[in-house]
A and B are shown apart, each in its own frame.
Chain A
Amino acid sequence: MSDFFKSKTFTAVLFSIGAIVLALAVFQLGMFVGFRKAAFSFRWGEDYYRTFGGGRKPMEMGMKRDGLFDSHGATGKIIKITLPNIFVEGPDMAEKSVLVGDKTEIRRFRDELGPSDLKVGDFVVIIGVPNSDSEIEARLIRLLPPPPEFFPDAGMKIK
């Protein structure tokens, strides 16, 4: 019996089970993240007209390669400010609505700013939580200088 536990067969069985467990865990993590992205993207598409009015339809925009948007943050240029909402356009050409609340911290370098200090054209990186209105409730908004090759593959340049 003890010889079996020292044998290569036992080691192979153990590693196989470990590999299966790891694969299942990674698969579950993928499903968890994918579900959140899909749910947010679905609500975003449903609310597009309500948020942005007429004009471009969601399908005419440059969607991300997988057709889904990040739901817990945004990065890009501010294109519209109607407090408490700001609208950010990312390198994937998607416009996200961000809710600036009382808990939101706005930073530029070491300075703390207020919502009124935000301007159209500012480059921001945002972390937040999605809500049922396909908005991202911002927890942190960091203003940064725009990267040198912002939007290199979408063909857009920040002036």
Chain B
Amino acid sequence: MRQRRNRHRIIRVIKRNLPEREKHDTGFLNALFLRINKERQKRARVRFTCGAAVFLSSVTAFLPAVNLLRAELAASGFMEYIRLPFSDTRLIAAYWHEFMILLLESMPVLGMTAFFAAIFALIFSIGQMAKANAVRKVESL
């Protein structure tokens, strides 16, 4: 419904700024708004297509990213270190500086980057496709 409000606002602004003769020319206004509508539909189609391509790529890349993260977590010992505060809270608090450096050293940065990049691309592409779909639905009403 925000799309429809925006469209009405655009129509008001256009009408306000048109020369006097064109304001009362119904044929001209209809042609103008049809052309605007056509352009918005075209942009929504392009956005949807690009979103779909990114979605497919991110879905394809998701599983390798998860495997990479798993392998790096297993090789680094990060998960063993992260559990220590739950079993030895007092000692970890006493040696928090060493513990923080150890976590930073063992963090599987590459695996986490790949994993979160895939998640981000997935969510972003779904959002783009949803927005494009909403524009197409509103304009077709």
Residue ranges of A at the interface with B (Cβ–Cβ < 8 Å): 29, 33, 36-37, 64-65, 70-76, 90-92, 105, 107, 125, 127-129, 139-140, 142, 144, 147, 149, 151-154
Further contacts, 14 of them, CB under 8 A, given A70-B105, A73-B98:
A33-B101, A33-B105, A72-B98, A73-B102, A74-B77, A75-B77, A75-B81, A91-B76, A92-B75, A107-B88, A125-B81, A151-B74, A152-B71, A153-B74
In-complex Cβ contact of B104 among A33, A105, A147 (8 A): A33
Number of A-B residue pairs at CB separation under 8 A: 80
- Are the CB atoms of A129 and B98 closer together than 8 Å? yes
Q: With A139-B91, A142-B88 given, is the CB distance from A76 to B77 under 8 Å?
A: yes
Interface string of B60-76 (1 = CB under 8 A from A): 00000000000110111
CB distance from A128 to the nearest CB of B (A): 7
12 interchain pairs, CB-CB under 8 A: A29-B104, A33-B101, A65-B72, A70-B77, A72-B105, A73-B81, A76-B77, A105-B91, A125-B77, A125-B80, A127-B91, A127-B98
Contacts of A71 in B (CB 8 A): 101, 105
- List chain B positions with a Cβ less than 8 A from chain A: 71-72, 74-77, 80-81, 84, 87-88, 91-92, 95, 98-99, 101-102, 104-106, 110
- A65 to B77 Cα, complex, angstroms: 13
CB neighbours of A29 from chain B (8 A)? 104
B99 and A64 contact, CB distance less than 8 A: no
Q: What B residues does A152 contact at CB under 8 A?
A: 71, 74
Chain B facing A: main interface SS = helix
Asked if B77 contacts A72 (CB within 8 A), the reply is: no
Among A33, A91, A128, A147, the residue within 8 A (CB) of B75 is A91
B91 touches A72 (CB 8 A): no
Known: A90-B77, A142-B87. A72 touches B71 (CB 8 A): no
What residue in chain B is nearest A153 (Cβ atoms)? B71
- The listed residue (B72, B81, B105) touching A37 by CB distance below 8 A is B105
Known: A73-B81, A125-B84. Is A91-B74 also a contact (CB below 8 A)?
Answer: yes
Given A33-B101, A33-B104, A70-B102, also A127-B84 (CB < 8 A)? yes
Q: How far is the CA of A128 from the CA of B105 in the complex (A)?
A: 13
Shortest B90–chain A CB gap in Å is 10
Interchain CA distance A37-B102 in the complex, whole Å: 10
Contacts of A73 in B (CB 8 A): 77, 81, 98, 102, 105-106
